[in-house]
Amino acid sequence: MKKNDLFLLLGVLLAAFLLFLGLRLFSGNGEAVEITVTGDVLGVYPLSEDRIIPVADCAEVRIEGGRVHMAFSDCPNQICVRHAPIARVGQTIVCLPNGIAVRILGDGGFDAVVG
């Protein structure tokens, strides 16, 4: 056991905390949600209207009251389904087994995709 071990541990924890703060600080409430399946954009939908979006026969994303959650997925671990609803820019729910990523976009989210 060396002193450096402790520094390393504290350093990593600090870095994680700062990263968390940084991600949090720069993210306001989102405008739209982008759904991708293994990198291909399936669609971008506004958060302002409630919607049920089936994803590739294996999952279902729901927009409810400006927040997005994975309502259903046929994946074995169900981590994505248990993930809390997201609404802030940059927040993402992923389903690794199905390769689905659900990500909140901010202003210009539509432009970024359409333009």
Partner 1 sequence: MKNTMTKTKKIALAGLLAALAFGLSYIEFLLPFDAVGIPGFKLGLANLAVMLALYRLGSGEAAAVSGVRLVLSLLLFGSVTGFLYSVAGAVLSLAGMIVLKRTNRFGVPGVSVAGGVLHNAGQTLCAMVILGTAGIVSYLPLLLITGAVTGAVNGGVLFMILKRIGEKKHE
Measured distance CA(98)–CA(23) in Å, rounded: 25
Q: Is 53 in the site for partner 1 (CB under 8 A)?
A: no
Specify the long-range contacts of residues 15-18, CB closer than 8 Å, at least 24 apart. Answer: none
Query: CA-CA distances (angstroms) from residue 68 to 5, 38, 89, 107?
Result: 41, 19, 12, 17
Measured distance CA(105)–CA(89) in Å, rounded: 5
- State the sign of the Cα–Cα–Cα–Cα dihedral 96, 59, 83, 107: positive
Site track for partner 1 across 71-90, x = CB under 8 A: ------xxx--xx------x
Among residues 34, 36, 54, 52, the alpha carbon closest in space to that of 44 is found at 34
Among 71, 97, 106, 110, binds partner 1 (CB under 8 A): 97
Among 26, 48, 54, 96, binds partner 1 (CB under 8 A): 96
- Report the residue number, 24 or 64, with the smaller CB distance to partner 1: 24
Q: Is 26 in the site for partner 1 (CB under 8 A)?
A: no
Among 59, 67, 103, 109, binds partner 1 (CB under 8 A): 103
Residues that bind partner 1 (CB under 8 A): 1-2, 4-6, 8-9, 12-13, 15-17, 19-20, 23, 36, 38-40, 77-79, 82-83, 90-92, 94, 96-97, 99-101, 103-104
